[in-house]
Amino acid sequence: MNIILVSNSLAKRGALTLNHGQTILLGIAMLMLPLLLAAGLTYMALFHASLLPHPFLQSLVLSAQQNELDKNREYVQENLNAMAIKLGQMQAQMLRLDAMGDRLAKLSGIGRQEFNFTAKPGQGGAEPSIQKVLSPKEFSQQLDTLMSKLDERADQLGLMEAMLLQQKVKKVALPNQRPVQSGWYSSNFGWRIDPFTGKNAFHEGVDFMADVGSPIHAAGGGIVIFADVYAGYGRLIEIDHGNGLVSRYAHASKIFVKEGDVVLKGQKIAEVGSSGRSTGPHLHFEVRHQGAPQNPEHYLKANG
């Protein structure tokens, strides 16, 4: 390929001869030049159009920037909404834990001044040498972890509350309160000389000396399973305290409860008498577990 150069400053014409390869390269360069010019113009339009005074270009740039801002604002709002929901759940859980903690303090006998759930816990320490700003993702992960721990603590406190309530119910039901306020033991639990036969016999309860009409109180809370006359016992009351534990009150003059009644510890259920196989006014008191007689003194001493 021959290229002839003509110039007024030259005395004669110049000629440039290109071989086949050079001709191809020149053609490619001529094709690429428009593309490079178009790319440069596009760059100017996209990144520097806001600096140009042309209204149309400025409106296009502002529209694109506004769309990007709207997307970012929507993303931030979605994250804030999600965090607000988690925060509300955590606040509700904290109120539940505070109420549960207050109940546990009452059940366990801890005073409010010793365990105040409303007071902010003290925190502090030296100025940290390394600090890090949490990203939204890390902050969300921290909230999830804290929520999981709150749920776990709530389950543990719920189990503890159930156990304390069970212990309290057992304590109320345990027949360990003295059934008569006055009087003294006239016969203990165990082997003794039977006052009617003069033979050695096993006494399955304890006898309290008391005047006729003295009040008899339930030694523990429970359900009355018998309240009537029984051979040898006279007027007898049996109270089921649960877990196979039963208390008996014999030789009463009057009975104030009936079978099926629920009685509380300390409630008046009868009056002292001398009905049945008795040599005089007294209360015969028994405690049985699974039908086997137990020494009532062991229960009464436990309350002392």
Q: Quick check: 289 and 248 in contact, CB under 8 A?
A: no
pLDDT, one tens digit per residue, over 214-265 is: 999 999 999 999 999 999 999 999 999 988 999 999 999 999 999 999 999 9
* CA separation for the pair 278, 215 (Å, rounded): 18
More reliable by pLDDT, 151 or 45: 151
Q: Rounded CA gap, 250 and 85, in Å?
A: 64
- 96-151: pLDDT as tens digits: 777 777 777 776 666 555 555 566 666 666 777 777 776 777 777 877 888 787 77
Stated pTM of the model? 0.55
Q: How far apart are CA 177 and CA 215, in angstroms?
A: 14
Which amino acid does the sequence have at 129?
Answer: S
Within 13 Å and on the Cβ side, how many CA atoms surround 97?
18
Identify which of 186, 177, 190 has the alpha carbon closest to the alpha carbon of residue 221.
177
Structure tokens at 35: 């593309």
Contact (CB, 8 A) for 259 and 221: no
Nearest-CA neighbor of 151 among 89, 87, 104, 99? 89
